[in-house]
Amino acid sequence: MNDPTSTSGSGGCSTYFDAIRQAEDDVAEALGHIRAEENAGRITVAEAATERVGLLERHLERCRQIRAEHLG
């Protein structure tokens, strides 16, 4: 079984963690954009919440795909 915390092996885990870090950075940036739109009054609190829900659902799916690709 592949252990994502292991430091030995072919480097697949490192690639996995790099991909997850990138996904985390991407979602953080997108959340910042939503927050800025809300703070500027261009979207309502409810619209921002709806956007966040969709964004986080897509992020979780991306993480699942990354895990499947890198860890099987």
pLDDT in tens, 10-50: 567 899 999 999 999 999 999 999 999 999 999 999 999 99
In a domain, 6, yes or no: no
Structure confidence at residue 13 (pLDDT): 84
**Parent domain of 66:** 12-71
- Identify whether 48 is part of a domain: yes
Query: Is residue 3 included in any domain, yes or no?
Result: no
pTM of full prediction above 0.95:
no
In-domain check, residue 7: no
1 located within any domain: no
For the chain, what is the domain count? 1
Residue 16 placed within a domain: yes
Both tokens of 56, joined, read 């986080």
Q: Which two tokens stand for residue 14?
A: 């490192």
Among 23, 17, 21, smallest CA distance to 4 is for 17
- Best CA proximity match to 57, nearest among 7, 13, 65, 71: 65
